[in-house]
């Protein structure tokens, strides 16, 4: 399937010309292995792909004793994988490199050698590589420096435009961007078509396996089984690699849907343990974030330039990395979400409040857009005018204007109020750019607010 990251890899190949290696990070099953293999096949005369999750210690040990004889290393790899290597025309791919830290450390010398290009993929970089190894206290832990010759890209689940491409809609998002730029309504029939695709994207999700299953079967129950396999993989990763944080990481991950159902959507640690303090759980949140299983949004004390400088680390929202996975994670009473329930979500007929799903997918789409996630929450008891909840804040044109922060409210139904947004605009007008209300309707301007359909989030 077509992925945007391919063009980034092509730009790296043509500009860097072997002067750096490229690391692709991302959660398990987002398509890293597929894209690097496709890139290597199409763009090079030959390639070797080493899956460090599968190869034996004989291959891994090569990278511990390579510095004095790179010729021997390349000869061994070429012979083992039955592939001839051509200087400046071949690439060596280190897949799942977290399972061989020595290979990652070797990148420095391999890049300096300059004969070939190098791609790496990693899902749990910096995590404990083996629970079994951790238990063997007699084994000495080896430390490896991250090479400065390594560039980095984070690969997300497929975004909405990539999903549309998979559905055979190559130009639909170009039309959406044109309408966003003009701030014009999309039109009733076209809006209905795109919002239907958006709902389909929300429930199938952005995991390539789930999308392929939908294309093959058009069965939501079959798609749900695929998503549950991925969820089980994530839970197994937590068990294997979270170490001493495992119980807390699991508790947080299991609680995400219930926490997003709360009125303010902020994570309440007291629901896990009445005596819980953030300092006891911060490493567990950051473990999930670093494993790319969740997207974290932090509360900022003021919606102004430098949101990160004002963030409160002990006040956050925790979203799942993929909304399709979240639906399977949420509605799991009978093991598989039924076709009927999926149809209700698709047709907006579900009795339950799906606001959490809408907010989760906005967080997912903003993250795919490269935005850091912030929100504003002030529960002041002294001044009613200060009490407000803004779902998201994004920075726009920070260098060229002090009016650079756009507040965003996400609405899943037609009956909603804009009290908090009005308060925010009144109090922080000198800092704010355009205020957006994301909803299921078409583009509409109403005073200070620009109403946008949810599928226009990639345009922000």
C-alpha to C-alpha distances, 227 to 2, 148, 330, nearest whole angstrom = 20, 36, 12
Please state, as a whole number, how many other Cβ atoms lie within 10 Å of the Cβ of residue 400: 8
* Average pLDDT of span 9-23: 97
C-alpha to C-alpha distances, 348 to 23, 159, 185, nearest whole angstrom = 40, 21, 21
Angle between helix 323-330 and 355-368 (nearest 10): 150
Nearest of 354, 377, 207, 375 to residue 292 by alpha carbon: 207
Q: How far apart are CA 71 and CA 56, in angstroms?
A: 21
Between these two residues, 163 and 415, which has the higher pLDDT value? 163
Q: In the beta sheet, which residues pair with residue 122? A: 25
Tell me the pTM. Answer: 0.92
How many distinct helices (H) and strands (E) make up the chain? Answer: 17, 13
* Half-sphere exposure at residue 293, Cβ-oriented, CA atoms within 13 angstroms: 25
Each residue's pLDDT tens digit, 68-116: 799 999 999 999 999 999 999 999 999 999 999 999 999 999 999 999 9
Q: How far apart are CA 152 and CA 290, in angstroms?
A: 14
pLDDT higher than threshold 70 for residue 126: no
Please state, as a whole number, how many other Cβ atoms lie within 10 Å of the Cβ of residue 253: 21
Confidence category of residue 141, pLDDT binned at 50, 70, 90: very low
- For the chain, percent of residues with pLDDT exceeding 70: 92
Average pLDDT of the chain?
Answer: 91
pLDDT higher than threshold 60 for residue 379: yes
Question: Which tokens in the block code for residue 191?
Answer: 């809006």
Q: How far apart are CA 26 and CA 358, in angstroms?
A: 23
Q: How far apart are CA 424 and CA 323, in angstroms?
A: 28
Q: How far apart are CA 210 and CA 200, in angstroms?
A: 12
DSSP class per residue in 239-294: HHH-GGGHHHHHHHHHHHHHHHTSSS----GGGT-TT--HHHHHHHHHHHHHTTSE
* Average pLDDT of span 379-399: 83
What pLDDT shows up at residue 129?
A: 39
Instruction: Judge contact between 201 and 163, C-beta under 8 A.
Output: yes
Catalogue all structural domains in the chain, each as residue range(s) with its CATH number. 5-154 (3.40.50.300), 162-459 (no CATH)
Of the ranges 57-71, 221-235, 386-400, the best mean pLDDT one? 221-235
Nearest of 38, 46, 48, 52 to residue 9 by alpha carbon: 38
Q: How far apart are CA 102 and CA 109, in angstroms?
A: 12
What pLDDT shows up at residue 135?
A: 41
What values do phi and psi take at 420, rounded to 5? -65, -40
| SS3 state at 349 | coil
């Amino acid at each position: 399937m077509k992925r945007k990251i391919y063009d980034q890899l092509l730009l790296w190949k043509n500009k860097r010309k072997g002067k750096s290696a490229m690391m692709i990070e991302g959660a398990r099953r987002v398509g890293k292995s597929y894209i690097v293999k496709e890139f290597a096949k199409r763009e090079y005369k030959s390639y070797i792909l080493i899956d460090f999750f599968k190869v034996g210690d004989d291959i891994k040990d090569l990278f511990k004793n390579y510095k004095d004889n790179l010729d021997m290393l390349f000869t061994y790899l070429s012979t083992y994988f039955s592939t001839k290597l051509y200087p400046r025309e071949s690439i060596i791919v280190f897949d799942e490199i977290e399972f061989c830290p020595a290979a990652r450390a070797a990148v420095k010398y391999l890049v300096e050698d300059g004969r070939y290009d190098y791609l790496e993929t990693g899902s749990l970089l910096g995590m404990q590589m083996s629970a079994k190894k951790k238990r063997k206290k007699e084994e000495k832990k080896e430390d490896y420096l991250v090479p400065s010759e390594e560039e980095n890209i984070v690969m997300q689940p497929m975004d909405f435009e990539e999903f549309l491409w998979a559905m055979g809609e190559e130009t639909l998002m170009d039309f959406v961007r044109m309408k966003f730029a003009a701030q014009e309504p999309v039109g009733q029939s076209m809006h209905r078509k795109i919002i239907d695709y958006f709902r389909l994207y929300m429930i199938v999700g952005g995991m390539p396996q789930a999308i392929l299953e939908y294309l093959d079967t058009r069965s939501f129950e079959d798609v749900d089984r695929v998503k549950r396999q991925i969820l089980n993989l994530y839970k197994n990763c937590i068990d294997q690699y979270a170490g001493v944080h495992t119980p807390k990481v699991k508790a947080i991950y299991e609680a995400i849907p219930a926490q997003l159902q709360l009125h303010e959507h902020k994570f309440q640690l007291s629901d896990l343990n009445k005596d819980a303090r953030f300092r006891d759980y911060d490493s567990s949140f950051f473990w999930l974030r670093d494993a790319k299983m969740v997207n974290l949004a932090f509360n900022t004390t003021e919606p102004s330039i430098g949101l990160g400088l004002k963030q409160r680390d002990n006040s956050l929202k925790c979203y799942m990395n993929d909304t399709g996975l979240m639906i399977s994670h949420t509605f799991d009473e009978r093991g598989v979400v039924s076709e009927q329930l999926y149809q209700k979500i698709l047709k907006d007929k579900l009795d339950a409040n799906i606001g959490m799903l809408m907010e989760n997918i906005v967080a997912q789409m903003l993250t795919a857009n490269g935005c850091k996630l912030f929100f504003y929450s002030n529960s002041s008891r002294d001044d009613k005018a200060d009490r407000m909840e803004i779902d998201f804040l994004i920075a726009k044109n920070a260098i060229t204007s002090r009016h650079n922060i756009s507040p965003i409210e996400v609405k899943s139904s037609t009956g909603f109020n804009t009290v908090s947004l009005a308060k925010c605009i009144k109090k922080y007008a000198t800092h704010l750019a355009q205020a957006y209300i994301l909803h299921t309707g078409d583009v509409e301007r109403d005073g200070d607010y620009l109403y946008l359909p949810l599928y226009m989030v990639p345009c922000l």
